[in-house]
Chain A
């Protein structure tokens, strides 16, 4: 079961504004929902701060916290704020914490969840291009510890840590084997480095695999046994869920559609092969194709411009969809999934990117006759690999519901 803790910020401060009916129980319920909303937004927050954040009186906050405490929804711990004793309120997580991290090409996303996968705290740290192993793993471990600390907990309460990386990971050693895909990251026992800092079990996997797992468990792939998940970001990958399990292959390269051949005369890819799909649709290739008309820009600029109707940027995203669509359609014919789920940054542009993939899939007669294969947009957005990492952490810690 997953309840996503996402709040767009606090709403009006004055109690009762949101109510149309004036009944007492409705008021109590609304106040309680507002208070829980603030707890979710801040992760850990003191009762005094709760009063400020919700606009409720300290007495009301105290009463509601007591009720939620009895119901087992929140927990309180003693802490200090500005030298004074205070009661820190968090969502209940007595049964331990899970840590899910996605170390992406340009951002680190990290979430702390309870054993029921409710996210208690979450941060995104922008990363430099070509970020370095030592700095990034150091920051990953520190960020996890700081967020756990912010919940009034200690690292001893961490049950397991899952980490997603934008390169194929060898399933037996947990190492990145390929030298070219993440410079300086190959042949390092990443899980051991993090585990020695946090002192809890750590597992590492490819981000497309974890996103597939995340969507299959909690998102658009729920209820399916065989899912083809496409992760279209700075590079393109796929995650294959076969009979409910991630299929990695002995070297962990299963689903690496970004490194399948699309142009025998094309340029050499980072991986060392010629004419890979990624040389055509990787972030750099997309940005470079707009160099004459728009100059340098970031991938997020490009996607934002495409969504707001810029014709050149739309064209680039749609063409990427068409090229990735061919690879996806070929894989779908060979693998025969029940559903195709598309995620990653490019999927933010929705139909601009997804429709060309749908068209490519529909052109393959074998998978489009009678029950045409559905191509869906992922539901978890950029949190997909983090959610998958949380699921992997739960499996590692043998938490029920982890699988």
Chain B
């Protein structure tokens, strides 16, 4: 798609392979071609937005990255190394963490339990509750979260605070790449402010972020690069700080197309 080591850290030179490189990815569900020959790249310390209309293939691509769906063709490289992601656990072990639209938090459990759900830290076979709580506190602090306590039940939290717990959960196990599917959908402005700030903090931590959204204002506020999908095909790559709304919208709606 484009080859630039955007925001490459001090020592990583521009020749370093991207954090994630996907080539010629295709995926169909029966007669529906969800992804057709899509290339996609994310670097360390970069926020890449994935935008497009409904059914453009954004969430399918996210699910391929997360190891939920298997592409029918195409290759995936992480830091230059070819990989397959047959299961979500494999993707997680490769440093990919995903927050899906539903968040999938357990209402009845507290913040700490949700952050470590399915990946509980154990000591001598017992749950290391204090250790997990300390870690949870640390994740929340790194994201500058306004959550009273890691012991607060999730049912007591606002939509923005829940999104923050879901993002904090991705930090378990030191990931390299975070995929966020519609993290600002149906949030108030104050909550959007917090979530966008969290996304910026992930970038400052040196992580790569894939930010899927319908909201071009939110996308252009934090993304470095915007990749447009239309009916499963790649339809344009834009620099978020430089390219105008109109150009991105034209690509989303198909007023401009790219032949590939």
Contact = CB atoms under 8 A, between A and B. Distances in A.
B168 to A, nearest CB: 13
A42 interface: yes
A50 to B, nearest CB: 8
B221 A123 contact: no
B189 A52 contact: no
Interface stretch (A29-37, A126-134, A212-220, A274-282): A126-134
Interface stretch (B1-9, B54-62, B94-102, B170-178): B1-9
Interface in A323-373: none
Interface string A114-146: 000000000111111111100100010011001
Task: Specify the main secondary structure of chain A where it touches its partner.
Answer: mixed
Given A49-B152, A295-B4, A42 B146 contact: yes
A18 to B, nearest CB: 16
A310 B197 contact: no
B127 interface: no
Interface stretch (A173-181, A195-203, A297-305): A297-305
Contacts of A308: 10
Contacts of B4: 295-296
A147 interface: yes
B197 A124 contact: yes
Contact of A305 (B10, B137, B222): B10
B43 to A, nearest CB: 10
Most chain A beta-carbon neighbours within 10 Å: one of B45, B190, B241: B190
A38 B148 CA distance: 8
B227 interface: no
Given A41-B146, A135-B217, A310-B10, A146 B190 contact: yes
Interface string B177-212: 000000000001110111011001000100000000
Contact of B6 (A108, A296, A304): A296
Contacts of B6: 295-297
B148 A298 contact: no
A127 B204 CA distance: 17
Contacts, number: 97
Contacts of A81: 156
Contacts of A135: 217
B190 A126 contact: no
Interface of A: 9-10, 13, 38, 41-42, 45, 49-50, 52-53, 55, 81-82, 106, 108, 123-132, 135, 139, 142-143, 146-147, 150, 294-298, 301, 304-305, 308, 310
21 contacts: A10-B137, A13-B149, A42-B146, A49-B152, A82-B155, A106-B221, A124-B193, A125-B189, A125-B193, A126-B221, A128-B219, A128-B240, A131-B221, A132-B245, A142-B188, A146-B188, A295-B14, A296-B6, A296-B7, A296-B241, A301-B45
Interface of B: 4-8, 10, 14, 45, 137, 141, 144, 146, 148-149, 151-152, 155-156, 188-190, 192-194, 196-197, 200, 204, 216-217, 219-222, 224, 239-242, 244-245
